[in-house]
C-alpha cells in the first residue's frame, strides 16, 4: 500500500476524552474514529489489525475442531424470557419492539439462540459432542462505556458453545478450548495470566478468565507470589482472619443515639471509632424473602460470593422493604434480633471473628455498642450461615500465603455451563439406552477488540504503538527520505520485491519531511522500518530498524529483501505457540 493513497489520518494531539494509552493511540494512529459513545468506525489500519486477530482466532478454533456458524444480531426476546436472563442482563441488554409488536434483543451474547438451534438439530448422543462458534458483533448497553474499545457498547466477540453427552466429554473440550486460548493469545503477542473465575449469571460449575495484566485493566487479579493461586477478585477465596481477643471484659450491649448518622464513615466520625470496629449490615431481597449480609465495616461485600451463598440472585432491598424488615430507616440495620425474622443471615468470617462491634440497632437513629457475635446474635442455626462473602484486600492470605493484587484486562473467558440452558430450552438428546437427557454445555468467549487494545496497552512507548508482528497492520514500512529520483526508484524496487514475495508493505511515498515520516512510522507501530536515503544510496546501503529497539542495521541494497524477511521470520518465530 502507498501511504499517499491510504486513509491513515494520524493526529499529534492526544484526544481529550481518551484516558488510557490504547484509546489515545488508536485515535492518534488513525486506527479508528468515534461515532457515538462506545461505538467506533474502524479505519483501514484498525480493520487490518482486527482482521488479523480474527484470522488467528478462526484458525485456532478450526484446528481445535470447532465449526464456524453465524447467528443473527437480532434475537427474539422470548428465548431470553425462557432462561430468565432478560432480567439478569437488565438494562445492559438493548431491545426494541418491531412493527408486528414482537420484542427483539440486540445480541449481547448467544447462549439462548445457539441452544435453541441445537434443540432443533440434536437428537442423539451420536451427534455429540459438537462445538459451534461464531465471530460477530455484540451489543451491550454498558452503563459506562469507556477506555475506547476496552469497554465499548458494540464489539466483536468470538463466542463458542459446545454440547456433550456427559461431563467427561465437556471436561475434554474445556481443556482443548483452554489450550486453544493459550495459543491464540500467545500468537497475538499477549502476556496473559489465567485466573479462576466465577461463572456468575452464566450458571455452571467452572470458569477461567484470561487476563492481560496492565494498569488500565478494570479487573483485579489476586494471586500468590509462588504462582500456586490466581483468581479474579470476584472469586478470590481468603483465609478467615484470626479471631480477635477482647481487651478485658466487654460490657452489655448499649444503644447510642446516632441521629441521622447512617453510613460507615458517618458512624466512625460520630463515635470516634475505626471502620474495623463496625459491623456492616446490608439487606437484600432474595426471591420472596430477605438476605442480611454482614461484613466488618472496613470490608466490602462481594456480590458474587454473596449470590452463591444466598443460593441465587439477590438485589438491594428497597427503603420500604428494609423498614418493613428491620423496623428502622435505611442505615440502622444490625444483626441483633434480626434472625427471628424472615431473613437468611449470611455472616462473613470477619464479623464472626470480632471480639465485639458496633452495629445498627434496628431502631431509627440508634446504633448498638458492645455487640458480641455469638453472645448477642447467633452464629449458628437455621437460616444462619458463616461464609466468605467479602472482597479480598491487601494483607489477606490464601492457604496461608500472602495475596498480591494487580489490574488486568479480561480478554477471554471459558465456562462449564452444565445444563442450565439446555434444560430451559429443551435441548435434549437420546442416550445409548434411549433415555432423553439435556445436553451438557460449555461456552467460550473472546473479545476481539480487547485483544487489539490490550496489545497496545502492553506494547507502546512515548512515540506510539509497538505491534506484535502477527497483528500489525503491515509488517514493513519503507521510508524514502528524499524525493530524488534514485531514492524513489530504489524504494519502489524494494517495495515491489517485498510485495511480490508476500510481505505486507507500506511505502511512505508522501511528499513530506523525513522527520514527519519517521514520527508516523513510530506512531502506527509497523514492526520493521526500511529507510532509503540519498547518502545511504551512494554507498549502496539502506537501513533496517525494528520498531521495538533503537538498533539500526545498514544492509546492502541487494540483500535488503532477504535481510527484511529474516527479521520478519524471527519476529514471527517468537510468537509461535507451543
Ligand atoms: P466484563 O466483565 O468485562 O464486562 P464479561 O465477563 O461480561 O466482560 P463475557 O460475557 O465473558 O464478558 O464476554 C466475552 C468477552 O467479550 C470478554 O472476555 C471480553 O473480552 C469481551 N467483552 C465483553 N464486554 C465487552 C465490552 N463492553 N467491550 C469490549 N469487549 C467486551
Ligand atoms: Mg467474562
Predicted confidence (pLDDT) per residue in 448-478, tens digit? 999 999 999 999 999 999 999 999 999 999 9
Least confident interval from 89-103, 202-216, 224-238: 202-216
What's the rounded mean pLDDT across residues 364-371? 97
Determine the 3-state secondary structure of 339 from DSSP.
helix
Binned at pLDDT 50, 70 and 90, residue 231 comes out as very high
Mean pLDDT for 54-77 is 98
Quote the CA–CA distance of 418 and 111 in Å, as a whole number. Answer: 12
Q: Judge contact between 283 and 330, C-beta under 8 A.
A: no
317 has pLDDT over 80: yes
Query: Is pLDDT larger for residue 482 or for residue 173?
Result: 173
Q: Is the pLDDT of residue 276 over 90?
A: yes
How far apart CA 316 and CA 293 sit, in angstroms, is: 11
Q: Measured between alpha carbons, how far is residue 58 from residues 69, 135, 172, 173, 520 in Å?
A: 11, 8, 20, 17, 31
Confidence check: pLDDT of 198 > 90:
no
What percent helix, strand, coil does the chain show, rounded to 5?
Answer: 30, 30, 35
**Which of 56-60, 195-199, 334-338, 386-390 has the weakest average pLDDT?**
195-199
Query: Residue 256, CB half-sphere, CA atoms under 13 Å: how many?
Result: 18
Tell me the C-alpha distance between 432 and 57, whole Å: 35
Nearest-angstrom CA–CA distance, 469 and 446: 20
Per-residue pLDDT, 287 = 82
What pLDDT score does 313 carry? Answer: 83
Q: For residue 435, how many other CB atoms are within 10 A of its CB?
A: 10
290, pLDDT greater than 90: yes
Q: What is the pTM of this model?
A: 0.90
Q: Are 79 and 103 in contact (CB under 8 A)?
A: no
Is pLDDT at 203 greater than 90 in this prediction?
Answer: no
DSSP code of residue 504: -
Judge whether residue 200 has pLDDT over 70. no
Q: According to the model, what pLDDT value does residue 202 have?
A: 62
How far does residue 219's CA lie from ligand 1's centre (Å)? 11
Helix spans in 316-374 (H):
319-326, 349-352
For the chain, domains (ranges, CATH) are 3-237+405-456 (3.30.930.10), 254-387 (3.90.960.10), 474-576 (3.40.50.800)
Residue 409, helix vs strand vs coil: strand
d(CA 345, CA 379): 9
In the numeric block, which cell numbers belong to residue 420? 442450565
- How many whole angstroms from 502 Cα to the centroid of ligand 2? 37
Sign of CA dihedral 135, 137, 138, 144: positive
Write out residues with Cβ below 6 Å of ligand 1: 109, 140, 142, 151-152, 155, 157, 410-413, 445, 447, 449-450
Q: How far apart are CA 110 and CA 138, in angstroms?
A: 9
Q: How far is the CA of 447 from the centre of ligand 1 (A)?
A: 6
Per-residue confidence band for 107, with pLDDT thresholds at 50, 70 and 90: very high
Q: Is the pLDDT of residue 549 over 80?
A: yes
CA of 448 to the centre of ligand 1 (A): 10
> Whose Cα sits closest to atom 2 in ligand 1?
410
Amino acid at each position: 500500500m502507498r501511504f499517499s493513497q491510504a486513509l491513515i489520518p494520524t493526529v499529534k494531539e492526544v484526544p481529550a476524552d481518551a484516558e488510557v494509552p490504547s484509546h489515545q493511540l488508536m485515535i492518534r494512529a488513525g486506527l479508528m474514529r468515534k461515532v457515538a459513545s462506545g461505538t467506533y468506525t474502524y479505519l483501514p489500519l484498525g480493520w487490518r489489525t482486527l482482521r488479523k486477530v480474527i484470522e488467528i482466532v478462526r484458525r485456532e478454533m478450526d484446528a481445535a475442531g470447532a465449526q464456524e456458524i453465524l447467528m443473527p444480531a437480532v434475537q427474539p426476546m422470548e428465548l431470553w424470557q425462557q432462561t430468565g436472563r432478560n432480567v439478569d442482563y437488565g438494562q445492559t441488554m438493548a431491545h426494541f419492539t418491531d412493527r408486528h409488536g414482537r420484542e427483539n434483543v440486540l445480541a449481547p451474547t448467544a447462549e439462548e439462540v445457539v441452544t435453541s438451534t441445537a434443540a432443533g438439530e440434536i437428537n442423539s448422543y451420536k451427534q455429540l459432542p459438537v462445538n459451534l462458534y461464531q465471530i460477530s458483533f455484540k451489543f451491550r448497553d454498558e452503563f459506562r462505556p469507556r477506555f475506547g474499545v476496552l469497554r465499548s457498547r458494540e464489539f466483536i466477540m468470538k463466542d463458542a458453545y459446545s454440547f456433550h453427552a456427559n461431563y467427561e466429554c465437556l471436561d475434554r473440550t474445556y481443556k482443548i478450548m483452554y489450550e486453544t486460548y493459550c495459543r491464540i493469545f500467545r500468537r497475538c503477542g499477549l502476556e496473559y495470566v489465567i485466573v479462576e473465575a466465577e461463572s456468575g449469571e452464566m450458571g455452571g460449575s467452572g470458569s477461567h478468565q484470561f487476563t492481560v495484566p496492565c494498569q488500565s485493566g478494570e479487573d483485579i487479579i489476586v494471586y500468590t507470589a509462588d504462582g500456586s493461586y490466581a483468581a479474579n477478585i470476584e472469586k478470590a477465596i481468603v483465609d478467615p482472619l484470626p479471631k480477635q481477643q477482647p481487651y478485658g471484659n466487654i460490657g452489655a450491649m448499649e444503644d447510642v443515639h446516632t441521629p441521622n448518622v447512617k453510613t460507615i464513615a458517618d458512624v466512625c466520625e460520630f463515635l470516634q471509632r475505626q471502620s474495623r470496629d463496625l459491623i456492616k449490615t446490608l439487606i437484600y431481597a432474595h426471591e420472596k424473602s430477605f438476605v442480611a449480609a454482614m461484613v466488618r465495616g472496613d470490608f466490602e461485600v462481594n456480590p458474587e460470593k454473596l449470590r452463591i451463598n444466598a443460593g441465587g440472585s439477590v438485589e438491594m432491598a428497597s427503603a420500604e422493604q428494609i423498614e418493613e424488615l428491620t423496623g428502622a430507616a435505611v442505615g440502622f440495620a444490625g444483626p441483633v434480633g434480626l434472625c427471628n425474622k424472615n431473613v437468611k443471615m449470611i455472616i462473613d468470617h470477619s464479623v464472626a471473628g470480632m471480639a465485639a462491634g458496633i452495629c445498627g440497632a434496628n431502631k431509627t437513629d440508634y446504633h448498638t455498642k458492645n455487640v458480641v457475635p455469638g453472645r448477642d446474635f447467633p452464629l449458628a442455626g437455621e437460616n444462619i450461615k458463616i461464609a466468605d462473602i467479602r472482597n479480598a484486600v491487601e494483607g489477606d492470605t490464601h492457604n496461608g500465603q500472602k495475596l498480591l493484587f494487580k489490574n488486568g484486562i479480561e480478554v477471554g473467558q471459558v465456562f462449564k455451563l452444565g445444563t442450565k440452558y439446555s434444560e430451559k430450552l429443551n435441548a435434549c438428546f437420546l442416550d445409548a439406552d434411549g433415555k432423553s437427557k439435556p445436553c451438557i454445555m460449555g461456552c467460550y468467549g473472546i473479545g476481539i477488540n480487547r485483544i487489539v487494545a490490550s496489545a497496545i496497552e502492553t506494547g507502546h512507548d512515548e512515540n506510539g504503538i509497538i505491534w506484535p508482528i502477527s497483528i500489525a497492520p503491515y509488517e514493513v514500512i519503507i521510508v524514502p527520505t528524499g524525493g530524488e529520483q534514485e531514492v524513489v526508484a530504489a524504494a519502489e524496487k524494494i517495495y515491489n520485491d517485498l510485495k511480490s514475495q508476500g510481505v505486507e508493505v507500506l511505502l511512505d511515498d508522501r511528499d513530506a519531511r523525513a522527520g514527519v515520516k519517521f514520527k508516523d512510522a513510530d506512531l502506527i507501530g509497523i514492526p520493521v522500518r526500511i529507510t532509503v536515503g540519498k547518502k545511504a544510496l551512494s554507498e549502496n546501503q539502506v537501513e533496517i530498524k525494528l520498531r521495538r529497539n533503537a538498533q539500526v542495521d545498514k544492509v546492502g541494497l541487494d540483500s535488503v529483501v532477504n535481510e527484511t524477511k529474516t527479521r520478519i521470520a524471527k519476529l514471527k518465530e517468537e510468537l509461535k505457540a507451543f
